[in-house]
Amino acid sequence: MAISKEDILNWINTYAQVIAENEALLTDLDAQIGDADHGANMNRGFKAVLTKLPAQEDKDISTILKTVGMTLLSTVGGAGGPLYSTIFLEMSKALANKEEIDLADWASALEAAEKGVQNRGKAVPGDKTMIDALEPAVAALKEALAQNISLEEALQKSAEAAHEGMLATIPLVARKGRASYLGERSAGHQDPGATSTFFLIDTAAKTWAKRNTHK
């Protein structure tokens, strides 16, 4: 089953709601190892995104994602702004001129996002960053493609992998970002960026599976 541009818009709208609902959680996580602004910054950015989406309804998927990325770049402070902007801009490039996408397209787009974030932030898996949720999600999608399983199952496996990656940041010592200044004291805390990244991937899985179930 294909993922339409309407599904993409629904995913972004729903993610904005998830971020709003979890602003306090993200802020609390960031207060433990960062600047205590991740929740507020993300919520501000996606509220701005919501104001732009109505004008994107007749655009292709690439244009929609580019608009999200550029809006986040101009409205989200801290490290999250450039990194989340990179996610959406790299996905936009990977999905140029697409009106709908399939599982292979989504895997390619998320992999492009991962590489973009790594290039920008210089983080690798194990550094206690959003990469720790993003990398296993991409790996799960690739494995799903190789096994030729359904879109819904692939999305679920990707979300589960991102969740495991998020939880795996708890014992890690941060090697990148503001948290790295704490050294060993950063261990024992869940990374806020990995958490918001899990929400991004989990929201895609839930909204798209629900949509396809109703078709």
CATH value at residue 63:
1.25.40.340
Give 186: exposed, middle or buried? Use CB within 10 Å, 0-12, 13-18, 19+.
Answer: buried
Q: What is the distance between the alpha carbons of residues 151 and 183, in angstroms, rounded to a whole number?
A: 40
Distances (CA, A) of 189 to 6, 112, 128, 134, 201: 37, 28, 10, 18, 21
What pLDDT does 214 receive?
Answer: 39
Nearest 5°: the CA angle 153, 146, 205 is 25
* pLDDT of 1 above 70: yes
Q: What is the distance between the alpha carbons of residues 146 and 205, in angstroms, rounded to a whole number?
A: 19
**What percentage of residues in the chain have a pLDDT greater than 70?**
91
Poorest-confidence range of 3-7, 79-83, 190-194? 79-83
Q: What is the distance between the alpha carbons of residues 163 and 31, in angstroms, rounded to a whole number?
A: 21
180 falls in which pLDDT band (50, 70, 90)? low
CA of residue 113 relative to chain centroid, distance: 9
Mean pLDDT of 12-20: 98
Q: How many domains does the chain have?
A: 1
- Give the range of the structural domain holding residue 104, as residue numbers without chain letter: 3-213
Poorest-confidence range of 53-62, 157-166, 183-192? 183-192
